Each structure stands twice: as structure tokens, then as C-alpha cells.
Amino acid sequence: MKVLVFGGSGQVGSELKRIIALNDSVRFVDRLEADFTKPEMIERLTEDFQPTHIINAVGYTAVDQAELEESLALSVNAEAVKVIASCATRLDAMLIHYSTDYVFDGSSSRPYEENDVPNPLGVYGKSKLLGEVHIKEAGCRYMILRTSWVISATGKNFIKTILKLAKDKDQLTVVNDQIGAPTSAKLIARVTWELIQKDAQNLLSSGVYHLCSSGEASWFDVAVHAINRVINAGVLLACDSNKVAPITTLEYLARATRPLNSRLNSNKLERLLAAHMPHWTAGVDGTIDELIEKGFLK
Ligand SMILES: NC(=O)c1ccc[n+]([C@@H]2O[C@H](COP(=O)([O-])OP(=O)(O)OC[C@H]3O[C@@H](n4cnc5c(N)ncnc54)[C@H](OP(=O)(O)O)[C@@H]3O)[C@@H](O)[C@H]2O)c1
């Protein structure tokens, strides 16, 4: 087994680096070695390494900025993915790729299942959906793992942003009408590695799978939970959870339109792994504990 991982510096990539033992059969590739706006770099690297498994943890993830940089978002999330998928087809390698709840418009009244019809509301979601289409058309073996609201102690995410704000400001407003489940990059990395072990035993079939924590919450609920956790750990914040006020998505005035329902149903993946997804609070608590340990709020 030879595993090539694109993107070791992001939230998911960093967690993959922590759990996959580095040896001659594993290679992590960063932007310097493979810039996704230069697909020939991807081809050269893949041909040189001859992987049996490719993990693509690279993504253009700036949802609002994507509205202003459509061609860059499309290059990274769709065109480069097409190149990776065609390399995977040529080498008969399994491609594990991450996609998003933002491929849906959020109008459903229940958690989204894999076969629900996508209808992205913004450029980011459109570019990720096109990446999925390219993978399916390439004819390679693949697992597309759609996840949501990724959090970790590294990189940029909601938990880090809200805790920094709560440290400095005595009042906060947080959106209360988008519902989903924060999913830790640790969980995503762990499941990815388990899937690769399963593939090595020929236990996988290609497809789209939803990989999301169980339970559901609004961003407001997540903020309140996170602030309480930090205060209970003895860290001083300027804002306690009583000073967090709920607002609507319309009041928040973001550039990109986001789905109000970001819930993903992970039953298909749970059946494959014979395991239940942990509740979102477990990932949030773990992330906060790690942040406190790292002195993030000092
Ligand atoms: N974040 C979320 O809430 C979320 C939700 C659902 C799905 N996802 C999907 O999950 C996957 C991983 O997300 P994440 O949160 O780990 O992302 P992230 O923290 O934003 O990391 C993005 C990674 O992509 C790399 N990258 C970006 N542009 C590149 C380029 N032109 N060439 C080469 N590398 C480039 C970054 O490298 P540098 O460090 O050099 O910039 C970084 O390693 C993505 O496919 C994303 O779409 C994320």
C-alpha cells in the first residue's frame, strides 16, 4: 500500500499527519510541491510516487471570498480534482476526497442523504459539486466524504473565532437559524484511515458517504456550549454565555448565501463502519481542551 496525501497543512491534513505513521509508503504533499492551480505538478508527483491510495485534503474553503474568486475556487476544487481523478484511474488507485454540506440548498426538512439532489447556493458549493462530478466521470475507485462545519485546534474555524471574540468582547451575536453539526478534523482523519485499511482488505465500494457528527445545533448553540466549556475550565472570558445574543442569517450579512439546513445523515457510513458517529459536543470539547492546553486563550 502506498498513500499519497495532498494538503498536510489544513485542518484535516494536519490531523491525517498526526495519525498516519510516516514511512516510505506515505507521502504528504504541500502547496510548494503541488500547487493546485498548476495541475501538471499533480500529474508529475502522482506518476513518480505510484500510489495505491490518494487522499485529497486540499480545498479552497473561503466560502465568502469564493464569490469574488470564482475561477480560483473552480481551479482548486474542480479542475485540479479532475486531474487527480484521472491519475487515480490510470494507476487504479483509490481516491478519498472531501466534499461538503454546501452542495445542498438547505431547503430539506430532514438531514440530507447521499442521493438527495444537490443544488448549491454559492460558488464554493458549486465548485465542490463540480469536483464530485469530475471524480464520478473519471471512472476511478473513489470515496467522496461529505462533511460539515469542520473544527480543529489548527487552522481557521468557528470555535477559534468565537472564543477569541469572547475573550475580548463582552457581548456577541451569533446566527441561530443555520442548523448542522460541528465535525472534528480528528474524526474525519480517523475515519479516512479506517476506510483505507478496509480498502486494503477489499471491503469498500466506490460512492458518496456523509461523514458528520451526530446530533444537531445552530451556530448559536455551539457558541454557548463552547463558551461554557471554557469558563468551566477556569479560563477568564470577557463574554459569558448569557451575553451571547441570537441573530438570523439575514442579519449577519455574509457575502455568500449559506444553507439553513446543513444536517447530513451519516447512516450509510455508520453501517459500513459498524459504528456510530460521536455527538458533536465530543469534538467541540476535545478541540477546546486542546486549545486550552496549547495556551490559545492566554
Ligand atoms: N472547513 C470546513 O468547514 C469544511 C466543511 C465541509 C467540507 N470541507 C472540505 O474538507 C476538506 C478539508 O477542509 P479543511 O477545513 O481541512 O481545509 P483548510 O483548513 O482550509 O485547508 C485547506 C488546505 O488546502 C490547501 N490549499 C488551498 N489552496 C491550495 C492550492 N492552490 N494548492 C495547493 N494546496 C492548496 C491549503 O494549503 P496552504 O496551507 O498552503 O494554504 C490547506 O492545506 C476540503 O475539501 C473542504 O472543502 C471543509
pLDDT digits (tens, 9 = 90+) for 269-281: 999 999 999 999 9
Measured from the CB, is residue 98 less than 6 Å from ligand 1? yes
Q: Is 106 left (phi over 0), alpha (psi -120 to 50) or beta?
A: left
Residue 245 Cα to ligand 1 middle (Å): 30
Band (253; pLDDT cuts 50, 70, 90): confident
pLDDT of 21: 81
Its pTM surpasses 0.95: yes
Please give the C-alpha separations between residue 63 and each of 77, 118, 149, 201, 232, in angstroms, as whole numbers: 12, 17, 12, 37, 32
Domain residues of the chain, as ranges? 3-156+182-213+263-278
Q: Whose CA is nearest to atom 30 of ligand 1?
A: 36
Which of 126, 150, 134 lies closest to 89 in space, CA to CA? 134
Is residue 209 flagged as an active site residue? no
Measured from the CB, is residue 57 less than 6 Å from ligand 1? yes
Position 246 pLDDT exceeds 80:
yes
pLDDT of 13: 97
Percent of the chain with pLDDT over 70: 100
Q: Which of 55, 95, 150, 284 maximizes ligand 1 atoms within 8 Å of its Cβ, making it the mutation to test the pocket?
A: 150
Residues sharing a CB contact under 8 Å with residue 176, sequence separation 6 or more, in sequence order: 218, 219, 220, 221, 246, 247, 248
pLDDT of 202: 83
Band (195; pLDDT cuts 50, 70, 90): very high
pLDDT of 64: 95
Measured from the CB, is residue 84 less than 6 Å from ligand 1? no
Band (22; pLDDT cuts 50, 70, 90): confident
Residue 9 Cα to ligand 1 middle (Å): 8
C-alpha cell at 125: 458549493
C-alpha to C-alpha distance for 231 and 236, rounded to whole angstroms? 6
Measured from the CB, is residue 155 less than 6 Å from ligand 1? yes
Q: Whose CA is nearest to atom 21 of ligand 1?
A: 10
Place of cell 464569490: 67
Measured from the CB, is residue 265 less than 6 Å from ligand 1? no
Residue 56 Cα to ligand 1 middle (Å): 9
pLDDT of 294: 93
C-alpha cell at 153: 485546534
Measured from the CB, is residue 150 less than 6 Å from ligand 1? yes
* Catalytic annotation, pick one of 124, 142, 209, 252: 124
Residue 272 Cα to ligand 1 middle (Å): 26
pLDDT of 223: 98
Residue 11 Cα to ligand 1 middle (Å): 7
pLDDT of 26: 95
CA dihedral (109, 113, 115, 120) positive or negative:
positive
Mean pLDDT of 55-62: 98
Measured from the CB, is residue 239 less than 6 Å from ligand 1? no
C-alpha to C-alpha distance for 298 and 296, rounded to whole angstroms? 6
Tens-place pLDDT, residues 93-131: 999 999 999 999 999 999 999 999 999 999 999 999 999
Measured from the CB, is residue 55 less than 6 Å from ligand 1? no
Please tell me what DSSP assigns to residue 253: -
Position 298 pLDDT exceeds 90:
no
Mean pLDDT of 229-253: 94
Position 88 pLDDT exceeds 80:
yes
Position 24 pLDDT exceeds 90:
no
CATH of 3-156+182-213+263-278, one of 3.40.50.300, 3.40.50.720, 3.10.20.740, 3.40.50.20: 3.40.50.720
Residue 165 Cα to ligand 1 middle (Å): 23
Tens-place pLDDT, residues 121-178: 999 999 999 999 999 999 999 999 999 999 999 999 999 999 999 999 999 999 999 9
C-alpha cell at 126: 458549486
pLDDT of 23: 81
Measured from the CB, is residue 267 less than 6 Å from ligand 1? no
Ligand 1 atom showing the smallest separation from residue 34 Cα: 33
pLDDT of 203: 80
pLDDT of 297: 87
